[in-house]
Amino acid sequence: YQRRVRGTLSEKMAFRALGAIQIAIITWQAVAGPPVPSSVLGFFEAQNAKNCTAWVSMFADKFEVQDPMGSEPVTTKKALLAGCEQNNQLFETVSLVPVTNEIYSVGEGAAVRWRCKSVAVVNGTRCELDFTGIDVFSTINEGALISSMHGYFDSDLPAAQLKPCTG
């Protein structure tokens, strides 16, 4: 599987991240079993494409996001969109890729272990993130919409990796 991609470095990296997501999901489904809810797949695809409108559309009208778990819950699409747009301003590349064979789907929910390799550039300073975590999703409407997402990761890791860019 190889495709030529024209565009900026950021666009090429986003394409590679999306390809890695698709490969991880296809491999997981061939090995592990039940399909991953469509909204969970869309969550990762839209986030890596830096498409905030599509990303927010993956959520039900009533939802809760705690990312990381224990943080102030986000419960409105307006706040979710604002947070996504703010992140997109900081990150040149968003790369949050599910780890192959570590996607666990049951009924209308899923737990997904992921690796973050996003890149931020601020005033010429480049900061590359490299950490892992797990997102736990509950969905409704046969997996079409996310009703809750709780992220589990050590928030000190990305904070330390972003320190040269954020001061």
**Residue range 68-113, pLDDT digits in tens:** 999 999 999 999 999 999 999 999 999 999 998 899 999 899 999 9
Local confidence band at 20 (pLDDT 50, 70, 90 cut-offs): low
Residues 161, 130: contact at Cβ < 8 Å? yes
Predicted local distance difference test score (pLDDT) of residue 101: 87
Q: What's the pLDDT at 19?
A: 56
Q: Full-prediction pTM beyond 0.85? A: no
Length of the chain: 167
Q: What is the pLDDT of residue 111?
A: 97
User: Pairing relation of β-strands 119-122 and 109-116?
Assistant: unpaired
* For residue 65, pLDDT beyond 50: yes
Give, in order, the Cα–Cα distances in Å from 55 to each of 7, 100, 136, 150. Answer: 22, 22, 16, 16
Phi and psi of 107, rounded to 5°? 55, -125
What pLDDT score does 100 carry? 82
Joined tokens for residue 92: 């040149």
Q: At residue 2, does pLDDT exceed 90?
A: no
For residue 34, pLDDT over 90 is answered with no
Q: How far apart are CA 99 and CA 131, in angstroms?
A: 12
